Structure 1
Amino acid sequence: MTLLSSRVPMSALLLFLLLLAPRAGLAAGDAPLAAEAPSPTERSLTLEGDEHAPSMEESTGWVFTPGRAPLGLRLLAEVGAGVATAAAGGLVAGIGGFGLCQATGVLYATEGGCFYALLFGAMAGMAVGYPVGVWWGGEVVGGDGRLWASLLGGGLGLAAGYLGSRVLIAQTGRGESLIAIPLLAMVGASLGYELSAARPSVQPLLSLDTRGGMLGLAGRF
């Protein structure tokens, strides 16, 4: 094996070292900055993943609402809201009927004067107010019934109670059966609301974001 060697002048060697020194110092000084500053890819992942990562609702379009309360709690909320709304509706409609009677003279010529207008207005307000209260009371606790079904059920219950009480009064001559009118109206309103609620449904759910994905099932119960 033959070794080749050549002599390099000392001045040329010193000049080469002087040229390398600024580059080495600059690289050593910039190394921490390069380590601290994130790359464009890391910066985009940080911004998207940490500051504004798309949530499950944003990525899938689903909006999760609180689950439905148990049936007993729903019925309690429906009855409470129905009674409160019926009382408010009866008060407003009764005062309105009395004022209309005073202004127009309708029913004023009867024996009770405007008392019957007050009574009829209050009864109408309560008959409409109770199903409305059942509807919004059920919605508050996660129910999913329909207002028209609550109104229809209340109306059918009211009619059934009235007709049934008339038959019982004709047979017995006693008026205790009149209590069936409001009771059947209350039962009909809640029954109509609950029967019109949407049935449970389940469907696949896919969620994607910058940190990965998730596959599962989502539904309403």
Structure 2
Amino acid sequence: MSTTLPLFPLGSVLFPGMTMALHVFEDRYLTLVNDLLSLPADQPRRFGVVGITLGHEVGEKAAHQWADVGCTAEISTVQRRPNSSVDLVVTGVERFRAVEWLAPDGTTPYLRAQTVPLAEEVGEEAEVWRERAAHHFAVYLERLDRIGIIVADDTDLPKDPVAASYALADAIVLDMPDKQALLEADSAAERLARAVELLRRENRVLSALRLLPAGRFPHQVINLN
């Protein structure tokens, strides 16, 4: 059964169980937030986050194409600013696939879609892949620390393979196509296997960076939220 979701296209990917901070300032998305906050208290305040595959975030015609698979976001906290913008913290709930896009119109200025939820499959040997991923992730964190990127204290992966797969996908510093591919993986086992491949690649790069002369690296914190 399909559900109509208001959509927030972004240049980043939200994963189930993970949190994301959003600064909302465009009129159409302020309308989206206000529409959700005006719902009865017993109704969830949810919208869909979809990755922009062509274009960029800001401006009514900035984004031209979106990924079909996204993640439902539930508003956790809201902070209104004096300039009328809004700061949100949202939590990823579940993946969905957009089956029909609903363009903005005179009454609804933001993008919407008819969506169907995607099942969470564990997959074969998910626990084995979780252990492999945990090993490569520990190496990744160690090498990040050596080049001056701050790593949070609590970086243990969840025991559950599905939760671990999303925590890893969120924590590894990757470009959007890699993040989107992790979101779209058919099972936790497949997602963890892809994460292992990506961690091996990133660890090779980080190992090479250790051989370069000392320099300045961007300040970043790696955290499993």
TM-score tier, shorter chain, comes to: under 0.3
Report which of the two structures shows the higher radius of gyration computed on alpha carbons: 1
Give the strand-richer structure, 1 or 2: 2
Higher relative contact order (CA 8 A, sep 6+): 2
TM-score of the aligned structures, taking structure 2 as reference length? 0.20
